[in-house]
Amino acid sequence: MADSLYLSYWLRNYSALSMLRSFGKVLERFPFSPQNPSNSSLQIVPVSSAEPPLFEASLADPLDTEVVLNRCEEFLHADCSYVLEAWWGLWQFRKEWELRPARVTIFCFGPEFGDGTPTEHLRVDFGLEAHYLPRPDDPASAYYTRSNLKGMVRLVQQLDEALAVDRRTLWSESGENFAEKLQQSVQEL
C-alpha cells in the first residue's frame, strides 16, 4: 500500500489573527510548478473536516499566492481550515525517470478547527512517500529520490527560518518512522 508523506508544524503564539500570515509564508516559499496537468484548487472548510466546504475555487497556472490569501481572508475564522491543492516538480518513474508535476496539498488549520483535540497548525502533504525512497530494483533511483529529498529539505529549512516554529514532524501515513524507512531502503540498494 502506498503511503503519503506529511510535514506538520505547530507554531508559537498561533491565533486567528496570525494563521493566514503563517499560511502566506508557506505559500510564498513553496516551489510551485508553473505548468501542470490541471488547475490548483482552494477549499475553505468550516468547523471540522467532516463539513462541506464553505468555498471552493479552481486556480489557474501560474499559481498566484496573493489571490489565494485574498480568498482566504474573505473567510477568516478561527474554526476554518484552508486547503490548497497544487503542484510541484518531482522526479518520477514511469517508463523512465522524468521531472514532472506532482500533487501537493498545503493545509492551514484555524486554532478552533476540529473536534476539540489539538491538531497541528500547518501541514504539507508531499504525496506518495515512494517519491522519496530509493527502489531496491532500480539503483538509479537513489540519484532521483535524493534530488526529491533535497528539495523537500531545502523547503523545510526555509519554512523553519520563516515561521515561529514550536515543533515540527515529518511523518508517514502508516505511522512508521520515515527516517528508518529511508535508511532501510538505502541499505537494500
pLDDT of residue 166: 97
- Average pLDDT of the chain is 91
Listed in sequence order, the DSSP H helices in 17-140 are: 19-29, 65-73
Point out the residues of the chain with pLDDT beneath 50. none
Global model pTM greater than 0.75? yes
pLDDT of residue 175: 79
pLDDT of residue 55: 95
Name residue 153's amino acid. V
Domain layout of the chain by residue ranges = 4-187
Q: Are 108 and 136 in contact (CB under 8 A)?
A: no
Residue 31 to residue 26: CA distance in whole angstroms = 10
> In this predicted model, what pLDDT tens digit does every residue of 156-172 receive, in sequence order?
999 999 999 999 999 98
Q: Return the axis-axis angle of helices 19-29 and 141-162, rounded to nearest 10°.
A: 140
pLDDT of residue 178: 76
